[in-house]
Amino acid sequence: MPLPFKSYLKKPSNYKGGKSKSEVLTNGRKIYKLSSNENPIGASPKAMAAIQSKLSQIHEYPDRTDQRFREALSEFYQGALVPEQFISTNSGVANLELIMRGFLQEGSECIYSNPAFGPYRSFPKKLGATAIDIPLVGDHFQLNVEGILKAINERTRLLFITSPNNPTGTHFPKSQIDQLIHHLPDHVILVFDEVYYQFADAEDYVRPLPYIQEGKNVIAVNSFSKAYGLAGLRIGYSYSTVEIATYLQQLRIPFMINALSLAAATAALQDDAFIKQTVQLVHTEKEYLYQQLEQLGIPHWTTQANFILIKPPMDAFEFEDAMLQEGVMVRPVAGFGAPDCVRVTIGNREANEAFVKGMKSVL
């Protein structure tokens, strides 16, 4: 009898995550990592202190159901959501995977819009589902609402959008989201990935929260890897209607999140000062980078996130390699549907200066 491999998993996924610093480090040379949208000032000090004080208890299992963490999240949302509406997972991407596992199967479909975060395309395939790309349109990468609605059929289960979007950094205005949500049939869930929401300040930016409060079939996906600076701890969460969250909760592995991550994230939720400091730095530094990119004549897009999409005047992968020689890691985003472009995380001034200096030498 042959092994019962699933036929659609025979071909390995071609999604490649960003490299870590240790993968590229050579001779102890200083490397500036502007390739994974990490926090430029480190991690929330409250989170680090919480880990220290939890260390003596790591022989004990964490909360089985993460109830206390969900209560902390409910408090963070000032009671706008009840604890039963949250699903915590060991990363934002694990939350996306849980959602897909819950709603996709062989033969089902989902929709996403390139340029987009790679897992929307690669993960459904692991479940035998088909991901349909309805590309973003225009110079400012807007949703093709009509195209999306036309692509929906009886097999469609999920629709993914990210605002601010990775890798473009652009956001989708409230009017577009309204239009989309109000025309979405009942059997389709909108997965609204908002892992960069803290950095958005556009007037017409909207979060998924009000739609979920209205009872719409929307799931909001969040991460502690970006503004909270806890990428190495792997923790994220989603919120949705009680009906959807109760269903997803059944698929979640008990004790999924380790005790240190739970302690850190709970403390980070109360670290407003750290979030303010992070966002302020990103806003100041993006102006510096815009100025430098303009002086160098490098096409780029204004951003609502903590990274900038640029179009270097050479092959994106060659640019990545050349910048690495200059000690700066950047991220080509061909895998995200933007083959000529490179995504650059907004760093602290030292890192951004290294990026500008590197770019001058490369170009």
Ligand X SMILES: Cc1ncc(COP(=O)(O)O)c(C=O)c1O
Binding site residues, ligand X, CB under 6 A: 37, 91-93, 117, 162, 166, 193, 195, 223, 225, 231, 236
| CB of 336 vs ligand X, minimal distance in Å | 9
Cα distance between residue 105 and residue 155, in whole Å: 10
48 or 296: CB nearest ligand X = 48
85 or 225: CB nearest ligand X = 225
| CB of 112 vs ligand X, minimal distance in Å | 11
Strand duo 86-89 + 236-239: pairing: antiparallel
| CB of 295 vs ligand X, minimal distance in Å | 28
| CB of 117 vs ligand X, minimal distance in Å | 4
93 or 110: CB nearest ligand X = 93
> Identity (one letter) of the amino acid at 125?
K
| CB of 170 vs ligand X, minimal distance in Å | 12
Cα distance between residue 82 and residue 212, in whole Å: 12
- Give alpha helix (H) positions in the chain: 21-24, 45-54, 67-76, 92-103, 119-126, 145-151, 174-183, 209-213, 242-249, 259-268, 272-296, 316-325, 349-362
Quote the distance between the C-alpha of residue 356 and its chain's center.
25
Cα distance between residue 211 and residue 163, in whole Å: 14
Candidates 258, 262, 249, 257; CA nearest to 98 is 249
| CB of 194 vs ligand X, minimal distance in Å | 9
99 or 323: CB nearest ligand X = 99
| CB of 18 vs ligand X, minimal distance in Å | 8
51 or 96: CB nearest ligand X = 96
Cα distance between residue 123 and residue 119, in whole Å: 5
In Å, what is the CA distance from 151 to each residue of 31, 190, 201? 44, 14, 31
257, 98 in Cβ contact below 8 A?
no
89 or 292: CB nearest ligand X = 89
90 or 270: CB nearest ligand X = 90
164, 170 in Cβ contact below 8 A?
yes
Quote the distance between the C-alpha of residue 191 and its chain's center.
12
110 or 322: CB nearest ligand X = 110
Q: What does the block give as tokens for 18?
A: 């960003």
| CB of 307 vs ligand X, minimal distance in Å | 9
As separate numbers, helices (DSSP H) first and strands (DSSP E) second, the chain gives 13, 12
